[in-house]
Chains A and B, each alone.
Chain A
Amino acid sequence: MAIEKVEYWRWTESNWKNPDIPDWHGSLITAGVDIGSTSTQAVILADGVPYAYSNMRTGSNSPDSAISAINWAMKDTGLTLEDITYTIGTGYGRVNVPFSNKTVTEITCHAKGANYIYGPTVRTILDMGGQDCKAIHCDEKGTVTSFMMNDKCAAGTGRGMEVIANLLAVSVEDIGELSFKVDEEPAPVSSTCVIFAKSEATKLMRSGWTKEKVLAAYCHAMALRVVRLLERNGMELDFAITGGIAKNVGVTRRIENIMGIKALTPTMDTQIAGALGAALIAKELVEKKRAKEG
């Protein structure tokens, strides 16, 4: 009998095209490609307005992931790579975007993207990525004033969440809601090391804890870990969360509760913040160059 193998960690890949721009007749197309350790996004802007994007898993070959992401974003737009005036690569694999004109660090791009998604009042950004988390401060233009990151361990990252999803056989996208189905908030599991957290979760399951209770303990631990990072870098309102974990209410609500503040509500997919920022910076660079040339 064949045993069905379910990949609980697998999150939904997506692409989007702006329904308000059926056909592009503008003057400037720019793109940003964010190759992260776990996910890759491509964002296309038409005259600075989001036109299309894609969000997919980073494969074993980063250049291929970049090409797949931009092709998927362009799918229903009628655009080709030749139509894109300027492309910026960002993220962990930014040097692996074969068609990019420039690379910019993901910290700079996330701040710029968050400024667009959440508006100019955002001052503190928590980017919770696949294998690291970053606390970033920025000004009203989305320019970074300080940052602090922690990529020492996968605890407190998307990858850590995927490990727990597989362990408990729960879809990674359901973890947030399930983690609130507990009578009272349990003590957090280890937040220092994802391996310790995993073995602690296994032990708790064996001792009779429900999946929901273990998930609550894990989300609680993850929230505590990033709160320490936020406190160390300093908290200045308004506060916003980007990255894949921003979609996990089990973590975001706990961060809000621990810090006693409310994060801004996103108007777009939080996972595209880096690629969006890269595309916005690309637009600024082209406009500066055009202004110089008269």
Chain B
Amino acid sequence: MIANYGYEDGSGHYYIKIDTSKCAECTAKGCISACPEKLFATELDDFDDEVVLIKEDARNTLQTNCARCKANGEKEPCRQACESDAISFSW
């Protein structure tokens, strides 16, 4: 499943896309420890696969939460750590 967590407001659209079918097979789940803002968490999805998601209280503040990593101009730490290439950003 492709899960898009985030929002659109007057300043733009801020979504983190996670391909949960890829991260269900990933045992490392490096994104969780790589994110300096601790935005990622795991949960058992509706089919009992352990998948990664963006924590509920962070979903409406991604522009601010991810600003530090985005400012570096490099590939974000979560994407660098993701072995399955399951994470992408809309901005």
A interface residues with partner B (beta carbon < 8 Å): 104-105, 108, 137, 144-153, 192-193, 228-229, 232-233, 281
B46 within 8 A of partner (CB): yes
Shortest beta-carbon distance from A39 to chain B in Å: 21
Contact A147 B1 (CB under 8 A): yes
Shortest beta-carbon distance from B75 to chain A in Å: 23
Taking CB atoms, residues of chain B closer than 8 Å to A281 are 46
Taking CB atoms, residues of chain A closer than 8 Å to B10 are 192-193
Taking CB atoms, residues of chain A closer than 8 Å to B4 are 146-149, 232-233
Contact B46 A229 (CB under 8 A): no
B9 within 8 A of partner (CB): yes
B13 within 8 A of partner (CB): yes
Shortest beta-carbon distance from B50 to chain A in Å: 15
B interface residues with partner A (beta carbon < 8 Å): 1-4, 7-10, 13, 15, 46, 59-60, 90
A104 to B45, CA, bound (A): 8
Closest to A146 in B: B2
Shortest beta-carbon distance from B77 to chain A in Å: 24
Taking CB atoms, residues of chain B closer than 8 Å to A108 are 46
A-B pairs with the 10 shortest C-beta distances? A146-B2, A152-B7, A148-B4, A192-B10, A108-B46, A104-B46, A152-B60, A150-B7, A144-B1, A152-B9
Query: What number of residue pairs across chains A and B have CB atoms under 8 A from each other?
Result: 40
The one of B9, B15, B46, B60 in contact with A148, judged by C-beta atoms closer than 8 angstroms, is B15
Closest to A105 in B: B46
Among B3, B7, B8, find the residue whose CB has the most chain A CB atoms closer than 10 A.
B8
Contact A146 B3 (CB under 8 A): yes
The one of A104, A137, A146, A229 in contact with B8, judged by C-beta atoms closer than 8 angstroms, is A229
Shortest beta-carbon distance from B51 to chain A in Å: 11
A99 to B46, CA, bound (A): 19
Shortest beta-carbon distance from A38 to chain B in Å: 18
Taking CB atoms, residues of chain B closer than 8 Å to A147 are 1-4
Contact A151 B13 (CB under 8 A): no
Taking CB atoms, residues of chain B closer than 8 Å to A105 are 46
| A145-B8 contact in complex given A151-B60, A232-B13, C-beta closer than 8 Å | no
Shortest beta-carbon distance from B7 to chain A in Å: 4
Contact A153 B1 (CB under 8 A): no
